């Protein structure tokens, strides 16, 4: 049997090492994708990370890993089956988290108990399961990076796995590699190209295939978000101070019509009951249950005991109308945040509840809150209510929004003092708002909760955050017999000029006051002084805007990609292609007319030589274009023949093929099943056989051992072989 060239044996030995390293990297990327979701507990991070670090150390030092006996792996498997039940029902209390823990446990055990080839395949499958779990747990753009890296390494892993299997079936010995890095580089490049080709095809399929409504697919398997929004459905004085400092985006707002004010209030929920420390609502009084299946609900038509939800100001002109689209982050709330004063809301939700205090909530258990459209009235109600002094309130308003607990007597005295010169209810509300803005300071750093937090805020500390300001104003107004309530939501935001959206963050959480006027309805007052400025316009802030725009693009065109997006994309592509086609036709016609004009004005040799040469070169280039690949191969072969030291293996292949063609002309043909040595030894003519054997020996050393000296001898040997009679 002919011996296998040394270099071949070296490369096949390299496949085992490459496979072990790529499989390890596959596990690392899978674990990184899972850890990047932020949903792994500390113990899982430590155990999984430690196992991978230890395995990497063994690979780096080329040491044999510690192996758990097979008997103990069976015991551990039985034990973890019992633990999984406990984890599912008591610890994680969810399928995804409990299953993630199980996958990590199996990975750790398998890393240190590999005995068969199928164990290595199990590890590759576990890495895929970790990436799949990460896809369920996060929608962030960081997953795209880890998934792309996973694809490249997965290609390298399975290619080298197949080469490793072929190596063992052929029983090829492994020899210490001389140029192993070239093999690894070639295999890595092939993996990258194959991964890019696969992902490119997947992208085309993703955007082209007809889409079904998959919103919510696997969403219920995910865990609830732990994003600190700063918004809650109740107020405990002092509880919001730390949460407001979060820079986590809560929602993004796209303006469809109008101009959005920078300090716009986003209304979430109004609170009516106060016990001296806490604001809350009783069981919600549902005013209406509606379906928002792409049918807008006119909130101005909703009535509670004959009264409007917000105001009865009538329709607003287009100049004072704001139409917007909200993209909610998965923050774990079902409340729609509406720009005040709300007029309409539209979205794809089967069940929506509208409460008596004006809160709009998604009650569709099959679909979480993600995207909706709204319309708001931006008119200033001052013109309608500045002379209001009516004390005739509906019974439901007085009973609900004049309720007070036992409070410090100094609070009503302060309210009377502040409003002593006010002549009507609007002036009284404005006076209290102005007093709080000008005489008390804003801070997020508060000490422990006092027994009477409002009295401590107004008369001792005189500093606080929005909850204290809103609570103080609402309570003082109620002591004056003016119905009021505290509203939780958001105020302001940051404009991102990269994608023309407003970013509402956790630190924009805010509380303010709504005051009732019988002639109009509810009017917003905000007694909180200006909070500290948010992020500036420095390089870091700008980078944050780029990242936020990328996340929104990812979510809108990947996560939420549906049939409506396909229609928009196809229409846009159609418009663009028509535009490009029109421009190309116009350009071609213009060039054609200019060429005719030049030829018409040439008159024999008047056409400049420069234009003639340029035209001839252009025609020659167009004529040679179909032959460009063949010309490229020809010049490449010439370069290899003249400089075999640059690529001795390629030069050797070139000369060997020329030798075979020369032999074919003599009637000696090499069978595809023959090795070079078998072909040489099978030639009948002794002299030709001797020369071909010599040529083959030089060829194999140049081809497989990259021998420059042997490659340089091949042209001479070829001429001698061809010159024989």
pLDDT of res. 376 = 94
Residue 654's contacts (CB-CB under 8 Å, 6 or more residues apart) are 637, 640, 641
The more confidently predicted of residues 525 and 662 is 525
Q: Rounded mean pLDDT of 342-359? A: 87
Q: Are strands 371-377 and 321-328 parallel, antiparallel or unpaired?
A: antiparallel
Contact 85, 101 (CB under 8 A): no
CA distance 655 to 644: 11
More confident: 228 or 519:
519
* Rounded average pLDDT over 593-605: 63
pLDDT given for residue 284 in this prediction: 60
Does residue 600 surpass a pLDDT of 90? no
Return the DSSP state at 116.
S
Q: Residue 88: which residues within 8 A CB-CB, separation 6 or more?
A: 94, 95, 98
**30, 34, 37, 40 alpha-carbon torsion, rounded to 10°:** -160
Alpha carbon distance 48, 44 (integer Å) = 6
How far is residue 148's CA from residue 144's CA, in Å, rounded to a whole number? 6
pLDDT at 422: 92
Q: Which helix H or strand E contains 676, and what residues bound it?
A: helix 676-681
CB 223 within 8 A of CB 96: yes
- Please tell me the distance from the alpha carbon of residue 472 to that of residue 173, in angstroms, as a whole number: 85
Angle at 522 between CA 521 and CA 525, to 5 degrees: 145
Work out the number of other CB atoms within 10 angstroms of the CB of residue 114. 18
Helix, strand, coil % in the chain, rounded to nearest 5:
55, 15, 30
Neighbours of 571 (CB within 10 A): 10
Preceding peptide of 341 cis, ω within 30°: yes
* 188/110 Cα distance (integer angstroms): 26
- State the pLDDT at residue 561: 64
pLDDT tens-place string over residues 566-587: 666 666 666 677 777 777 778 8
Mean pLDDT of the chain, nearest integer: 80
- Of 713, 707, 700, the C-alpha closest to 2 is 700
Give the separation between CA 341 and CA 264, rounded to whole angstroms: 10
Q: How far apart are CA 272 and CA 274, in angstroms?
A: 7
Taking each helix axis as running N to C, give the angle between helix 686-704 and helix 708-723, from 0 to 180 degrees, rounded to the nearest 10: 160
> Which CA distances in Å does 714 have to 131, 518, 641, 669, 719?
52, 104, 10, 20, 9
Backbone phi, then psi, for 121, in 5-degree steps?
A: -65, -40
Maximum CA extent, the chain? 127
pLDDT class of 265 with cuts at 50, 70, 90: very high
C-beta neighbour count of 662 within 10 angstroms:
14
311: β partners: 521
> Alpha-carbon distance 51 to 66, whole Å?
11
- First-to-last C-alpha distance (Å) of the chain: 32
pLDDT score recorded for residue 183: 66
Taking only the tens place, the pLDDT of each residue in 636-672 is: 666 666 677 777 877 888 888 888 988 888 888 888 8
Residue 175: pLDDT above 50? Answer: no
Report the alpha-carbon distance of residue 563 to residue 210 in Å, rounded.
7
Q: Is the pLDDT of residue 199 over 80?
A: no
Strand spans (E) along 378-467: 441-442, 463-464
Identify the pLDDT of residue 257. 92
Q: Which of 131, 180, 205, 178 is nearest to 21 (CA)?
A: 180
pLDDT single digits (tens) 43-79: 999 999 999 998 888 888 776 667 787 788 888 888 8
The whole-number pLDDT of residue 87 equals 85
* 447 neighbors 501 (Cβ within 8 angstroms): no
Q: Give the tens place of pLDDT for each residue, 429-474.
A: 999 999 999 999 988 776 666 678 899 899 988 988 889 999 999 9
pLDDT score of 174: 45
Q: How many CB atoms lie within 10 A of CB 113?
A: 17
State the DSSP code for 706: -
Q: How confident is the model at residue 144 (pLDDT cuts 50, 70, 90)?
A: confident
Q: Is residue 370 within 8 Å of 222, Cβ to Cβ? A: no
Task: Please tell me the total number of residues recorded for the chain in this structure.
Answer: 725
Tens digit of each residue's pLDDT (9 = 90 or more) over 367-407: 888 889 999 999 888 877 887 777 788 888 999 999 999 99
Tell which residue, 140, 109, 84, 98, has the closest CA to residue 27. Answer: 109
Q: Which of 108-122, 484-498, 537-551, 585-599 has the highest mean pLDDT?
A: 484-498
Tell me how crowded residue 618 is: count the other CB atoms within 10 A of its CB.
10
Buried b (16+ CB within 10 A) or exposed e, 193-222: ebbeeeeeeeeeeebeeeeeeebeeeeeeb
Contact indicator for 49, 31 with CB cutoff of 8 Å: yes
The candidate with the shortest Cα–Cα distance to 484, out of 439, 424, 525, is 525
* Residue 11's pLDDT band (cuts 50, 70, 90): very low
pLDDT band at residue 230 using 50, 70 and 90 as cut-offs: low
């Amino acid at each position: 049997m002919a011996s296998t060239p040394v270099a071949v044996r070296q490369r096949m030995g390299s496949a085992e090492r490459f496979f072990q390293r790529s499989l390890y990297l596959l596990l690392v990327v899978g674990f990184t994708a899972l850890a990047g979701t932020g949903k792994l507990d500390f113990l899982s991070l430590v155990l999984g990370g430690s196992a991978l670090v230890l395995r990497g150390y063994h690979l780096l030092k080329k040491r044999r890993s510690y192996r758990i006996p097979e008997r103990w792996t069976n015991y551990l498997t039985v034990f973890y089956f019992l633990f999984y039940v406990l984890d599912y029902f008591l610890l994680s209390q969810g399928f995804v988290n409990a299953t993630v823990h199980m996958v990590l446990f199996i990975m750790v055990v398998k890393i240190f108990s590999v005995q068969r080839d199928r164990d290595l395949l199990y590890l590759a499958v576990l890495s895929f399961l970790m990436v799949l779990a990460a896809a369920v747990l996060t929608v962030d753009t960081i997953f795209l990076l880890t998934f792309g890296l996973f694809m490249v390494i997965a290609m390298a892993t399975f290619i080298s796995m197949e080469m490793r299997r072929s190596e063992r079936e052929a029983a090829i010995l492994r020899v210490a590699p001389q140029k192993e890095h070239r093999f690894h580089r070639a295999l890595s490049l092939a993996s990258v190209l194959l991964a890019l080709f696969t992902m490119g095809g997947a992208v085309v399929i993703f955007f082209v295939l007809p889409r079904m409504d998959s919103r919510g697919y696997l969403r219920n398997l995910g865990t609830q978000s732990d994003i600190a929004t700063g918004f809650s459905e109740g107020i405990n004085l002092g509880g919001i101070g730390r949460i407001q400092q979060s820079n986590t985006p809560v929602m993004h707002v796209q303006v469809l019509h109008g101009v959005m004010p920078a300090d716009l209030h986003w209304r979430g929920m109004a609170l009516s009951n106060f016990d001296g420390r806490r604001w809350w609502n009783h069981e919600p009084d549902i005013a209406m249950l509606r379906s928002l299946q792409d049918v807008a609900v006119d909130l101005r038509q909703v009535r509670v005991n004959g009264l409007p939800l917000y105001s009865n100001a009538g329709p607003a002109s287009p100049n004072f109308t704001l139409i917007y689209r909200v993209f909610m982050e998965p923050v774990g709330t079902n409340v729609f945040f509406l720009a005040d004063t709300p007029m309409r809301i539209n979205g794809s939700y089967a069940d929506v509840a509208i409460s008596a205090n004006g809160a709009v909530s998604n009650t569709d258990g099959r679909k979480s809150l993600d995207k909706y459209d709204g319309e708001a009235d931006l008119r200033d109600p001052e013109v309608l209510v500045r002379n209001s002094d009516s004390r005739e309130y509906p019974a439901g308003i007085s009973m609900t929004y004049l309720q007070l607990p036992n409070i410090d007597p100094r609070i009503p005295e302060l309210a009377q003092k502040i409003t002593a010169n006010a002549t009507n209810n609007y002036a009284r509300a404005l006076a209290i708002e102005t007093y709080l803005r000008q005489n008390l300071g804003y801070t997020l750093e508060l000490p422990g909760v006092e027994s009477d937090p409002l009295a401590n805020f107004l008369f001792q500390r005189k500093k606080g955050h929005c909850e204290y300001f809103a609570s103080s104003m609402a309570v003082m107004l109620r002591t004056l017999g003016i119905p009021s309530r505290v509203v939780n939501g958001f105020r302001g935001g940051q404009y991102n000029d990269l994608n023309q959206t407003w970013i509402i963050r956790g630190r924009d959480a805010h509380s303010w006051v709504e005051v009732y006027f019988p002639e109009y309805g509810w009017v917003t007052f905000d007694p909180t002084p200006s909070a500290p400025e948010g992020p500036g316009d420095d390089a870091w802030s700008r980078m944050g805007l780029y990242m936020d725009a990328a996340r929104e693009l990812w979510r809108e065109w990947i996560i939420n990609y549906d049939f409506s997006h396909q229609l928009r994309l196809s229409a846009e592509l159609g418009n663009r292609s028509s535009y490009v086609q029109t421009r190309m036709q116009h350009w071609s016609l213009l060039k054609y007319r200019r060429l005719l004009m030049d030829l018409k004005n040439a008159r024999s040799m008047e056409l400049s030589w420069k234009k003639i040469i340029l035209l001839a070169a252009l025609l020659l280039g167009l004529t040679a274009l179909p032959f460009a690949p063949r010309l490229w191969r020809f010049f490449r072969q010439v370069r290899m023949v003249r400089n075999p030291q640059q690529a001795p293996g390629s030069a050797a292949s070139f000369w060997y093929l020329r030798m075979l063609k020369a032999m074919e002309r003599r009637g000696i043909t090499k069978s595809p099943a023959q090795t070079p040595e078998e072909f040489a030894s099978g030639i009948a003519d002794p002299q030709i056989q001797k020369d071909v054997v010599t040529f083959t020996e030089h060829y194999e050393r140049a081809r497989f051992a990259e021998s420059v000296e042997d490659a340089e001898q091949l042209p001479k040997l070829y001429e001698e072989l061809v010159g024989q009679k």
